[in-house]
Structure 1
């Protein structure tokens, strides 16, 4: 076994062990007076998908799950790996066996110890076809031995390459070395699950009256489409260093209503509505903030058998992509510091070098002319206008972007795009079942590596909603999982995507928030924005 004593995102490719010495409680500046009321209240756009670690599939749900449950590893304010339930790990010389040492003081909220068997159960549960986890593909991406065959129904979940060597030693066998494997253990799907509670209550196990969790908080209230509340877990191993007593997530579908409630003092954090950051940053310079995030915003074409015939023509797809004036979207519509996107993978991803794309260097007039020529070549024009429906989940910001895109296509190309919005869960289901023509998409990285984005366009990806398929892309992505130099592989994938345009990259995210001045500890330097309430604190005003 090889060992080391410090870990960071940059060091992951060459390092194999961490120690608990790097872990610390929230870093409250000396002399800071803490508020008497340690309640953190924030706004979410939609009802979360679930708080079951192996079922949750959305960002807001994952935020709640990171408070309720704790996995092997956590992240610090800069995105570096730090101990969670695991105090460290060792990797074999061939990097295909990882052995995690678990802390013996980790407990479930009912007082039971957290053991390696809880991870074995959870990971086998995640790949079990009977559960049909939306993120079972993630477990396959982790290269866990036999995961792919189990998910395909060819082997039993009991054959997954995970073992409880003893109560506090968890062993994982991989089918091939994966340089960023440790980073992936911060994802909710890999968190432990309480087998006895799940078997007793079934699908109802996540209700506040039933749930048992091992994170810094417990779920004490859930009113669907209204709010959820989590409060400190007295059994959490580091409870004495937790400051926030209660975290409340309020579902507010309208960004402007949320801003009004924030300004009235009802919220500690909310997203800034599109177009309002410049004014708010002048009025509230100590509260309005914008910083890079590891997320992309795009529209995907349905190129499956159920999709429109027009979208099977690459010239149509490229024409629509080129006619999008991204500078107008980010500078006039969003106005929050978002960078325009010409690649699917954000430039903020560690170690990723965006390829030089010819059309990205053109001015918009040149792109528009190319778009007109391509659409005409595909047989569309004034006598045969292109028509399709574009769908997005309900949100003022998403509507503004959709309206802007449809207007660009109409004025430049004569395209008739009909807009339709859907409630979040309906949208996810319809998009996942290819019941759309063009659909909004967005993805926030599950770990800081280009594959977390590009794997979405692998032929077998569970989130390849448009059913794009390219054998060379699949080959390159598979090769990247064991390569010491992934950059040329990812560059080639992006070049293929540029030629075939299965999606329209629009912009890459920025975190554009109003953050109350009495909220301390927000991790603005973590581009993944994996935040934990236990690392926050409220300052006396």
Structure 2
């Protein structure tokens, strides 16, 4: 989801924000220069209840770190769990359960970590064996982890071979994965090849530990509710009944090794999908923070210090399932990708600072020697109704039909329905003979159907998982864990393989390979239909200080939040 998904981390001095990227306060517009980082604890907190009330737009799909794949899950898992590293207040990965930096072999492939003393919420120690168990579980094809193969494949030694064997129905051995417990406090990790962003990797929730005894005792009930989970992070789930829960409560974890840093005692989260209802709750003093505001509400809060606006490193697009015969046709894909006015969508429908995206690697995400990744190719696939119609007619002729009917899988939130209805209208207007059937479903259902490739067109988005363009470019390799739309191009695959392998330590060459891969995927193949890069707006109680917001991986951390009294 984190997505973004996708800008730097801010610890706000006056306010905080939500979702995947850095933010700017007051009446700043998305994309404006952002305020300086700060600790955000200038007021008095004595005698002020350290309780945060907040709204989220969706339920939590899963709290199992091995099965999680969306930003909502990753965010809460990040706040109740911890791995070898975690992102700090300055958006830097720092040792967490790792006792300082690891010992690294001369070839940069073998990492030996010593672990600090830490406990699970049941009082048992966190050990190196917990990491081994969790990582092996994540890569085991029987587990069907959506992120295990994606995050480990080509990175952790043996991961790719295990995944390939499982997919082919051949025998495999998860113990061949490059992770080993030398003893309770020593973990050895072997990489497939040198990785520049290894610290970001080991801060990601997929690499968190799990207690084998607890997981196996719980069986299918594991992670089904708060009682069937263990915690080793700043907070614990006090209440969370299931993936359908409309409310959940986090409380401070007294067993956390850095518990003295955590001031917040309680976080109550309620699911509110309707933006108007969220604003009404905020104005009535029933919540400290709304979810994202719908575009019709943004103008009313222009200049209001309580509204925060920021650009995310998150890009939304339309996935085209190329298992569908029609969508396997490049001319049909080009017609769809060019057939809707994304500039008008961003300006009139979203109206929140989001910008049209003619790319899938976002702007203002990564730079090299002061140059943004986007500067070389810029826009790769733009709206052009006339060209779209030409491609459409050619594609229909090649298919031997004069009309097409496609299922469009979208979200069930207010904002999602508006966006999907607009795109449906645009495509049906600009591509004669096209009928689109909208299917609006909850986020968890959309994830299930994406995994099963049960759609024709799907509106989706992505926020980066680590601070490298590879977090976007390696999504579309053939049979990649997050591809799930049947896109395949040998030249693309080779460029990304080179970027991850022989070019991994040559940043300029790695960039150029990825930039060419993006050009091929969009300009030549129209493998994806980019829509927009998201800006976000929320309402926030100014008494809430110090939330850390990340532009990749989990959206934010509550670890340093305080609630201050009225000035």
- TM (norm. structure 2) is 0.84
SS in 2 for 1:271: coil
Name the residue aligned to 1:392.
410
Q: Per the alignment, do residues 525 and 210 of structure 1 end up closer, same or farther by CA in structure 2, a change over 3 Å counting?
A: closer
Preserved contact between residue 316 and residue 374 of structure 1 (Cα < 8 Å)? yes
Q: Distance in 1 between matches of 2:511 and 2:209?
A: 33
Q: Distance in 2 between matches of 1:411 and 1:453?
A: 31
Q: Distance in 2 between matches of 1:526 and 1:456?
A: 18
Equivalent residues in 2 for 1:97-116, closer than 5 Å: 97-104=110-117, 106-116=118-128
Q: Distance in 1 between matches of 2:278 and 2:153?
A: 37
Number of matched residues? 509
Name the residue aligned to 1:373.
390
How far 1:73 sits from its partner (Å)? 0.9
Q: Per the alignment, do residues 475 and 273 of structure 1 end up closer, same or farther by CA in structure 2, a change over 3 Å counting?
A: same
How far 1:34 sits from its partner (Å)? 5.2
For the pair 1:421 / 2:445, whether they are aligned, the reply is no
Q: Per the alignment, do residues 176 and 476 of structure 1 end up closer, same or farther by CA in structure 2, a change over 3 Å counting?
A: same
Which of the numbers 290, 294, 314 marks the counterpart of 1:295?
314
Name the residue aligned to 2:328.
312
Structure 2 unaligned regions, length at least 5: 1-7, 10-37
SS in 2 for 1:535: coil
Q: Distance in 2 between matches of 1:522 and 1:142?
A: 34
Q: Distance in 1 between matches of 2:51 and 2:312?
A: 25
Name the residue aligned to 2:198.
181
For the pair 1:252 / 2:264, whether they are aligned, the reply is no
Preserved contact between residue 222 and residue 229 of structure 1 (Cα < 8 Å)? yes
Q: Per the alignment, do residues 376 and 526 of structure 1 end up closer, same or farther by CA in structure 2, a change over 3 Å counting?
A: closer
How far 1:194 sits from its partner (Å)? 1.1
Q: Distance in 2 between matches of 1:355 and 1:318?
A: 23
The answer to which of 225-234 and 87-96 deviates more is 87-96
SS in 2 for 1:512: strand
Name the residue aligned to 1:135.
147
Name the residue aligned to 1:510.
535
Preserved contact between residue 178 and residue 189 of structure 2 (Cα < 8 Å)? yes
Which of the numbers 236, 257, 263 marks the counterpart of 1:243?
263
Name the residue aligned to 1:487.
511
Q: Distance in 1 between matches of 2:260 and 2:378?
A: 56
Preserved contact between residue 42 and residue 250 of structure 1 (Cα < 8 Å)? yes
The answer to which of 499-508 and 316-325 deviates more is 316-325
Q: Distance in 2 between matches of 1:181 and 1:523?
A: 21
Equivalent residues in 2 for 1:95-494, closer than 5 Å: 95-104=108-117, 106-141=118-153, 143-151=155-163, 152-153=165-166, 154-206=171-223, 207-223=225-241, 224-276=244-296, 278-282=298-302, 285-304=304-323, 307=324, 309-351=325-367, 353-354=373-374, 367-379=384-396, 384-414=402-432, 415-482=434-501, 483=503, 484-485=506-507, 486-494=510-518
Structure 1 unaligned regions, length at least 5: 1-7, 10-25
Q: Per the alignment, do residues 54 and 506 of structure 1 end up closer, same or farther by CA in structure 2, a change over 3 Å counting?
A: same
Map Cα deviations across residues 384-433 of structure 1 (whole Å, 9 max, x no partner): 34432211121111111111112222333333322221233322222222
How far 1:271 sits from its partner (Å)? 2.4
Q: Distance in 2 between matches of 1:48 and 1:101?
A: 33
Larger RCO of the pair (alpha carbons < 8 Å, separation 6+): 2
For the pair 1:500 / 2:525, whether they are aligned, the reply is yes
Preserved contact between residue 74 and residue 553 of structure 2 (Cα < 8 Å)? no
For the pair 1:64 / 2:82, whether they are aligned, the reply is no
Map Cα deviations across residues 48-90 of structure 1 (whole Å, 9 max, x no partner): 1211111122111111111111111111234211221113223
Structure 1 runs of 4+ off > 6 angstroms? none
SS in 1 for 2:319: strand
How far 1:103 sits from its partner (Å)? 1.6
Map Cα deviations across residues 219-269 of structure 1 (whole Å, 9 max, x no partner): 111133311211111011111120111122212232322222222222222
Q: Per the alignment, do residues 441 and 41 of structure 1 end up closer, same or farther by CA in structure 2, a change over 3 Å counting?
A: same
SS in 2 for 1:231: strand
